[in-house]
Amino acid sequence: MTGGAGFLGSHLSEKLLALGHEVLCLDNFYTGTKKNISHLLDNPDFELIRHDVTFPLYVEVDGIFNLACPASPIHYQRNPVQTTKTSIHGAINILGLAKRTGARVLQASTSEVYGDPAVSPQPESYWGNVNPIGIRACYDEGKRAAETLFFDYFRQYQLDIRVARIFNTYGPRMAPDDGRVVSNFIVQALQNKDLTVYGDGSQVRSFCYVDDLVDGLISLFFTESIYEPINLGNPTPINMKELAQEIIALTGSKSQITYLPLPSDDPITREPDITKARKLLDWEPKKSREDGLKTTVSYFQETMK
């Protein structure tokens, strides 16, 4: 698993170990941390290697989850050239490894391949509306190019691929400084600081609790012959002003809401159509946003003591 020490990778590693698999975790610790997987290091079925996927890797595996890439704007815009390299060179190296070993390989793609969509909710058939020269393009276009590589390897080499388009995900082990809206709001609320809403707060997102997302990834990986992208996310939308109000109420915070200009190319809506996931994987999120946010708030309360 590349990116195995990240927020999502650490939860996925835990679940795979619980299912009886051996996990080889790769991470260069650009955004992942050893703290996320420290409780797994004594497990004889878990192995950690410091490695950057922009360089080739020579190991023997029978399954690959390619999660390596900074996923929050503050992190992927800090070094946009490296972000693009991670998506494209990383995909080439991981696909080469899968081709040599005959391993099934899953690409953690993103809802950002849809850009600022003119269609909502977004089905997998939608080609997107991405600015190829904008400040988010290093991530958006990098992930789109990675998908291209995956499907070309499937067509040219009959590689056993899976592609998951992951929508906004939250839960314990999010980094407090990652710039994502849920972690931003919770940290600000717990510190009784103003919650920073960009634009007028009407932009819409859909938030999936990490355990549900992990179940979706595992279901996609182990379901036979799904050679098409699959949306994974929670289809229940909420706008940013409402989310801020929910988190203030959940934390009992004295915070107010402050409005700042909307960042360049920030999508107005992000809402998955999960019809295919329901039909092909028998999967849909189970945890309510209220319950998920309560668990996440409790995590931040403990880590911020």
Q: Who's near 24: CB < 8 A, 6+ residues apart?
A: 1, 4, 47, 49, 59, 61
Residue with tokens 């650490």: 10
Q: Is 158 helix (H, G, I), strand (E, B) or coil?
A: coil
Kindly state the helix (H) or strand (E) to which residue 212 belongs, with its residue range: helix 210-222
Which residue out of 30, 114, 139, 209 is catalytically annotated? 139
Q: What angle do CA 222, 3, 25 make, to 5 degrees?
A: 75
Measured CA distances, 208 to 34, 60, 70, 213, 290 (Å): 24, 33, 18, 7, 11
Give the DSSP letter of residue 85: H
| Under 8 Å between Cβ of 123 and 179 | no
Task: Give the sign of the dihedral formed by CA 70, CA 75, CA 76, CA 80.
Answer: negative
Active site residue 139: yes
Q: Is 25 helix (H, G, I), strand (E, B) or coil?
A: strand
Q: Is 13 helix (H, G, I), strand (E, B) or coil?
A: helix
Residue with tokens 């909307």: 262
| Residues annotated as part of the active site | 139
